[in-house]
Chain A
Amino acid sequence: ETGVTQTPRHLVMGMTNKKSLKCEQHLGHNAMYWYKQSAKKPLELMFVYNFKEQTENNSVPSRFSPECPNSSHLFLHLHTLQPEDSALYLCASSQVLADTYEQYFGPGTRLTVT
Chain B
Amino acid sequence: AQSVTQPDIHITVSEGASLELRCNYSYGATPYLFWYVQSPGQGLQLLLKYFSGDTLVQGIKGFEAEFKRSQSSFNLRKPSVHWSDAAEYFCAVGAKSGGYNKLIFGAGTRLAVHP
Contact = CB atoms under 8 A, between A and B. Distances in A.
Contacts of A4: 43
A56 B41 contact: no
Interface in B40-67: 41-46, 49, 51
Given A42-B107, A90-B44, A108-B43, A102 B97 contact: no
A79 B59 CA distance: 41
User: What is the interface of chain B mostly: helix, strand, loop, or mixed?
Assistant: strand
B111 interface: no
A56 B100 contact: yes
Nearest to B107: A42
Interface in B16-48: 32, 34, 36, 41-46
Contacts of A90: 43-44
Contacts of A101: 32, 34, 94-95, 101-103
A96 B100 contact: yes
Interface stretch (A12-20, A43-51, A63-71): A43-51
B99 A106 contact: no
A100 interface: yes
Nearest to B93: A101
Given A42-B107, A43-B90, A99-B51, A105 B44 contact: yes
Interface of B: 32, 34, 36, 41-46, 49, 51, 90, 94-95, 97-103, 105-108
16 contacts: A6-B43, A42-B105, A42-B108, A43-B105, A48-B102, A92-B43, A96-B100, A96-B101, A101-B34, A101-B95, A101-B101, A105-B36, A105-B43, A107-B41, A108-B42, A108-B43
